[in-house]
Structure 1
Amino acid sequence: MSDAALERFRTLLRHATFSHDGAEGVDEAFDGFHADLARLFPLVHERLERELVAGRSLLYRWAGDDPTRAAVLLAHQDVVAVDDDSRWTHPPFAAELDGDGEERTIWGRGALDDKAALVSTLEAVEARLAAGFTPRGDVYLAFGHDEEAGGTGAEAIVEQLAARGVEPWLVIDEGGAVMDGLLPGLGPTAVVGLTEKGIMNVELVVEQAGGHAAIPLSGGSTAVLARAILRLENQPEPPHLIEPTIGLLEALGARMGGIRGWALRHARMLRGPLAKTLASSSPQLAAMTRTTRAVTQLRGSSSKNVVPERASATLNVRILPGATVETALADIARTIDDPAVQLRVLDGADPAPVSPAEGPAWEAISASIREVFPEAAVAPYVMLQASDARHFSRISRAVYRFLPFDLRQEELQSIHGVDERIRVSTYLRAIAFFDALVGRL
């Protein structure tokens, strides 16, 4: 069974289902992907209701014994761009398999983000259908087509479910994973996202007199813009701990001894000092303590010898739960403190609501994790990236973010990067997790 499952996965990885602007051959890629899904998972397509939403997104309904009880398993079909495939050890859409034993690995764009979750979900459902299993409630499989480009497919799926009065008791999407050594000496921890940061893109614009570069004026547009950027860089928001991060630290502390374990177990009481410690430990931990701001694009003159009249920068902002687009924008203006710098919100979404780290949905996910990863502790956390899950908060109060992958640091770093890959053993455990979870739905 495992070899056949790997071949199905590899087949689906070979479709370049891009969602970014300007990608070529997208219609053919999605058509081929959908055709292979139907061919490789015949029982899913024979016994589940299937709808095409927003052109390319897929929504399946698996009818259960109780139609008032619904759960949603999310994943997305699309993948991010490959800027230079010559830098890859294996071609990004060849889905090559190499290595032996625990190092046996499948290479390809989408291997982690997010086709492994999508295909392992289908593997679990197909096997359960073959065994004659019927879930207690309706199970929806929701596979958006443009998560990497904003998630309009997921939004359309939510619209459909809301119109039908569906209020899921559990929603699960990509997010945290099983990580070893989150802190020195600590064993594996499965981190489950209770919420995710909001996202906003802001354009900083400065318009001043320009002219010939041979006769520059002081205080030109680029200088004013540079000062604004440096103020944002040098004055990050003060760090603080929000509830999911406190829960994460308490869970980590429960497995540690000594003064460090004691401090983490008392994170609520020591939230101020611990926030400062996390903020100075690493960029990843710092991002859990504050709204972050990163300049991603700069624009000035189109000529080498012309001082631009207009200089601009794009600021990508990830908003910590508790703040909003409005408050984050006000903080940026207050930090820059220069009326010559205009701020224009290009797009934005507030942080997702925080789901509870208790109750039937949390317990179903936690029990499934413990069944497949018995050595791992389960802990809540704040997802730093945006996902399709945020749209489902409109219809459910129990929205979680977890990928059932035991990941090494270099594998984690391959997401959206070069040489994206997944170990075969990791992928097979993902199938086992979704099988365990489906059995609890």
Structure 2
Amino acid sequence: MKKIILYTISGLIIIFIVVTGYNTLTGKTKQPEPNPTDVTINEEKAITHLSQAITYKTISYQDRKKVNFDEFSSFIDFLQTTYPKVHENLELERINNYALIYKWKGTNSSQKPIGLTSHYDVVPVLEGTETNWEHEPFGGAVADGKIFGRGTLDDKIGVIGILEAVEYLLGEDYTPERDVYLMFGFDEEIGGELGAKAIAKTLQNRGIQLEFVLDEGGAIVENMVPGVDQPVAVIGIAEKGSAIAELTIEGSGGHSSQPNDHTNIGRIAAAIAKLEDTQFEEELRGPVNDLFEFVAPEMSFPMKYVFANKAIFKPIIQKILLKEPATAALLRTTIAPTIFQAGEQYNALPEKASAIINLRLMPGDSLEYVEKFIKETIDDEDIKVTVSGNEASKVSSVDSWHFKSIQQAARNVYKEAIVAPYLMFAGSDARHYDQISDNTYRFLPVLITGDDLNKMHGTNEQVGKENFINSIKFYVEIIKEAS
């Protein structure tokens, strides 16, 4: 009997090794062969154009009354002067005065068009930090192989990169097969209501449905995925929703010398502690699962072994990813208490206490589900809970020719990069285009370090010259691939 048990166990172990080994060895790459680009850009001229674009203070403020729209008008005039072929050959329409739609008519307008979008507004420079910049934030300085200034990464590089690509193609007498729409917002940094949302609504009213839309978002990053030595170009196929949960309790005020065992502040604090201790359920699914499907075949052993057998090692993978905030956010709706308000006098118990929690919702998690989860977790009927905001965007296909065209274009410029889908944490204008396209993708074609990310909305925002030139080449390639 013991021998039978031992033989059975040995047999199961052998089967386990054979199956998992087979999965590891037979995992096929999902990367297309690169066709290295032969695009030759007038680099000095293009760099000068981005440098000049930075000098326009197209700053978005939450209080729109503070916005200087003269700068926006001047920027549009600059585009018209700088890109004569674009403005001679493409139709330009202005929405709400400052949002721009360029239509490039193709040879076969019966095909559904594609859309390339970016925004030219930028965030303000935090007051008091101006002297911390190596170069003036709106000076457009070119030094040490880099271009400095607000908008070099977010996102005048996209606007200028796209227009440089189209101007180049027009100079080559190129005409796309399908129509191409260039769509540039002017208020993305404060929600995009008058820019991208209005552009999308205008096209929707005309019955225009786009094959796909490509916006900013993911980028080419290094040391992002364990077991992958090459840079990884991540293309956002969805973005998390952003919601606000407000927790409020009233009553039980009085003098601090005679407090109840559980005060308003204590109960709100306890509620937050429960939420942080419990957390939303983690799950390796959707865009995150797709990410590892694409990168697993490129991993070194033993990470390749683990990820090639996700069904078996899923609990281990999730446990590893939960250790770091950046990777934990890939797996679940996140909870981030950001504001706590209570009390005015040190010896008086506040009659009201409230807290604001920022939530970033996973695809599939509804606002109703989130509110129910919070109420059940804190288990305090006296605390009022209200949840408002946006749910996650639609999830775009990774099997479509749209995604494969973006992937091919990226490989043509960055032949060493592994191109994979991912879930974007931040918000973008792309979500507004969900109503006129089944597939919206988020990708800024530049190599970005962790330090670059910190500078994007902070001090010393900058982009390397080569990075910028490569972004133009990518836009040339994607227009050709999509055509």
Fold match by TM threshold 0.5:
yes
Higher strand share: 1
| Secondary structure of 1:165's aligned partner | coil
Q: Partner of 2:137 in structure 1?
A: 92
1:166–1:272 distance in 2 versus 1, CA, 3 Å:
farther
Q: Partner of 2:38 in structure 1?
A: none
Q: In the TM superposition, what whole-angstrom CA distance separates every residue of 1:378-410 from its partner, at most 9, and x where no partner exists?
A: 111111111111121222122111110111221
1:377 to 2:377 alignment:
no
Q: Partner of 2:56 in structure 1?
A: 15
Q: In the TM superposition, what whole-angstrom CA distance separates every residue of 1:272-312 from its partner, at most 9, and x where no partner exists?
A: 331222111x2111100000111222222355554332222
Q: How does 1:112-151 map to 2 (within 5 A)?
A: 112-151=153-192
| Secondary structure of 1:136's aligned partner | coil
Aligned residues: 435
- Work out the CA distance in 2 between the residues paired with 1:417 and 1:28: 24
TM-fit CA distance, 1:9: 0.6
Q: Partner of 2:91 in structure 1?
A: 49
TM-fit CA distance, 1:54: 2.9
Q: Which residue identity lines up with residue 232 of structure 1 in the other structure?
A: L
1:32 to 2:74 alignment:
yes
Q: How does 1:272-291 map to 2 (within 5 A)?
A: 272-280=315-323, 282-291=324-333
1:405 to 2:446 alignment:
yes
Q: Partner of 2:100 in structure 1?
A: 58
TM-fit CA distance, 1:208: 2.2
CA RMSD, 1 decimal: 1.9
Q: Which residue identity lines up with residue 196 of structure 2 in the other structure?
A: A
TM-fit CA distance, 1:268: 4.3
Q: Partner of 1:210 in structure 2?
A: 253
Q: More displaced, 370-379 or 219-228? A: 219-228
Q: Which residue identity lines up with residue 161 of structure 2 in the other structure?
A: S
Q: Partner of 2:239 in structure 1?
A: 196
1:6–1:205 distance in 2 versus 1, CA, 3 Å:
same
Are the counterparts in 2 of residues 290 and 320 from structure 1 also a CA contact under 8 Å? yes
1:105–1:184 distance in 2 versus 1, CA, 3 Å:
farther
1:30–1:135 distance in 2 versus 1, CA, 3 Å:
same
- Work out the CA distance in 2 between the residues paired with 1:269 and 1:405: 35
- Work out the CA distance in 1 between the residues paired with 2:136 and 2:261: 50
TM-fit CA distance, 1:372: 0.1
TM-fit CA distance, 1:19: 2.1
Q: In the TM superposition, what whole-angstrom CA distance separates every residue of 1:39-90 from its partner, at most 9, and x where no partner exists?
A: 2112222221112213421111111112232000011122123213233332
- Work out the CA distance in 1 between the residues paired with 2:49 and 2:411: 27
TM-fit CA distance, 1:259: 2.5
Q: How does 1:32-431 map to 2 (within 5 A)?
A: 32-68=74-110, 69-83=112-126, 84-99=129-144, 104-152=145-193, 153-182=195-224, 183=226, 186-213=229-256, 216-280=259-323, 282-302=324-344, 306-345=348-387, 347-431=388-472
| Secondary structure of 1:66's aligned partner | coil
Are the counterparts in 2 of residues 250 and 266 from structure 1 also a CA contact under 8 Å? no
| Secondary structure of 1:405's aligned partner | strand
| Secondary structure of 1:315's aligned partner | strand
1:223–1:55 distance in 2 versus 1, CA, 3 Å:
farther
Q: Which residue identity lines up with residue 290 of structure 1 in the other structure?
A: R
Give the TM-score normalised by structure 2.
0.86
| Secondary structure of 2:74's aligned partner | helix
TM-fit CA distance, 1:269: 4.5
Q: Which residue identity lines up with residue 64 of structure 1 in the other structure?
A: G
- Work out the CA distance in 2 between the residues paired with 1:271 and 1:313: 35
Where do 5+ consecutive residues of structure 2 fail to align? Answer: 1-41
Quote the sequence identity (%).
Answer: 34
Structure 1 outlier segments of 4+, above 6 Å: none
Q: Partner of 2:474 in structure 1?
A: 433
Q: Which residue identity lines up with residue 137 of structure 1 in the other structure?
A: R
Give the TM-score normalised by structure 1.
0.93
1:339–1:119 distance in 2 versus 1, CA, 3 Å:
same
Are the counterparts in 2 of residues 199 and 350 from structure 1 also a CA contact under 8 Å? yes
- Work out the CA distance in 1 between the residues paired with 2:123 and 2:376: 35
Q: More displaced, 10-19 or 398-407? A: 10-19
- Work out the CA distance in 1 between the residues paired with 2:137 and 2:286: 39
- Work out the CA distance in 2 between the residues paired with 1:326 and 1:143: 33
